[in-house]
């Protein structure tokens, strides 16, 4: 009998921890959804189109679809190259496959971060790094702050020694 009572207590404690984790995930999802809805509202000013009145603030998937449509509209208006539109269409049409390895890593703040073990976090967007212009021949290397402080201290020390002033540090 005590064995069954111990199992029941263990199951209750597991249920309570699962409910607490579920509440935490629900709170995070609600926070993300409200942020997405705020972004959706801000896109009204960019595209000058009215918001749909039947959109519920807690319907995450609908908000994401509407945001995707707004972004496509903005990209079409701003005449962004078709390559970007092709990449976003591919990304939206691809479904998450079960053969991808996704691991969970804990960040410094203690939050769980999902990473794709096989490559970059956002592989559908091409990487476009900015190249630094090569330094011209007439430019000299800029000294760091520490170098400048050392030079200033040396100047002060030499001037004070000449005048016979002892500085305390």
pLDDT tens per residue across span 141-164: 777 888 899 999 988 888 888 887
Residues 55-92: pLDDT tens digits? 677 778 888 888 888 877 777 777 655 666 566 666 66
Residues 26-45: pLDDT tens digits? 999 999 888 888 887 887 77
CB 149 within 8 Å of CB 169: no
Q: Which two tokens stand for residue 134?
A: 């090569």
What integer best gives the mean pLDDT of the chain?
73
Query: Rounded to two decimals, what is the model's pTM?
Result: 0.41
The proportion of the chain whose per-residue pLDDT surpasses 70, expressed as a percent, equals: 55
């Amino acid at each position: 009998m005590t064995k069954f009572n111990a199992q029941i207590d263990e199951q209750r404690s597991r249920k309570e921890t699962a409910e607490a984790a579920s509440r935490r995930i629900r709170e995070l999802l609600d926070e993300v959804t409200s942020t997405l809805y705020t972004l959706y509202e801000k896109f009204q000013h960019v595209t000058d189109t009215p918001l749909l009145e039947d959109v519920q603030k807690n319907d995450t998937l609908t908000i994401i679809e509407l945001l995707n449509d707004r972004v496509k509209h903005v990209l079409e208006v701003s005449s962004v190259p078709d390559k970007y539109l092709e990449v976003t269409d591919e990304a939206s049409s691809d479904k998450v496959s079960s053969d991808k390895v996704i691991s969970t890593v804990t960040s410094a703040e203690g939050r769980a971060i999902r990473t794709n073990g096989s490559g970059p976090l956002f592989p559908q967007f091409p990487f476009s790094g900015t190249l630094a212009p090569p330094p011209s021949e007439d430019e000299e290397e800029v000294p760091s702050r520490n170098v400048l402080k050392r030079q200033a201290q040396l100047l002060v020390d030499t001037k004070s020694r000449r005048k016979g002033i002892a500085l305390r540090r």
